Structure 1
Amino acid sequence: TVTVFVNPVGVSELINKNNVRLYPNPTTGEITLEMDGGESNEWRITVSDLQGRTVVEKLFNSNKINLKLALDNGVYVVRITNKNRNEKVIKKLIINR
């Protein structure tokens, strides 16, 4: 008997205690991020392409931020962490100009 365990590979949203919204998605390049609650108002947003290269990294001190992204069409990974770098949420972002 052979047992095979399969783990799916891809980007999925993590369950988190903060309510995080990213919109519009898909976008033409301008997005809004909103975080409800949480123990920190200091956040780091990192946008990476699907090869893992960081294309945008920003720090902000608000629970709502508007970003204009000058990125090519495609799928990106948005990672939002608090000031202690504890991972809070990962979202998939689609840019379609």
Structure 2
Amino acid sequence: MSVTVGVDELLNENNVQIYPNPTTGELTIELINQNNEWLTTILDVQGRTVVEKSFTGTKINLKLELANGVYLVRVTNKNTNEMVMKKLVVSE
């Protein structure tokens, strides 16, 4: 599942991969051909930020300590504010 915001604000969702999904606690976010500065935000189902990490490059590995459930992962280009959102399932 992906969430659409405004058409001119979106990254190509095919260029953003999150895996494994579902995850047991470790998550990789990979941006294909997108070497930039990024902000990764993980939101719970109430829209609250539960994780926020900045990184530069094309990949980040996160160790998550989240309760089982469904979350949204938002990846934002810090230079252009383009973003994509993807669903993440945490299941241990």
TM-score of Structure 1 vs Structure 2, range by shorter chain: 0.7 to 0.9
Gaps of 5+ in 1: 1-10
Aligned length: 86
Instruction: Give every structure 1 segment of 4 or more consecutive aligned residues whose post-TM-superposition deviation is greater than 4 Å.
Output: none
Name the counterpart of 1:96. Answer: 91
Q: Report the structure number with the largest CA radius of gyration.
A: 1
Higher helix share: 2
TM-score in terms of structure 1 length:
0.79
Give the one of 33, 36, 47 matched to 2:32.
36
TM-score in terms of structure 2 length:
0.83
Higher strand share: 2
Q: Percent identity?
A: 59
Question: Is 1:27 the equivalent of 2:23?
Answer: yes
**Contact map agreement 2:16 2:31 (CA 8 A) in 1:** yes
Gaps of 5+ in 2: 5-9
- What is the root-mean-square deviation in Å for CA atoms of aligned residues? 1.8
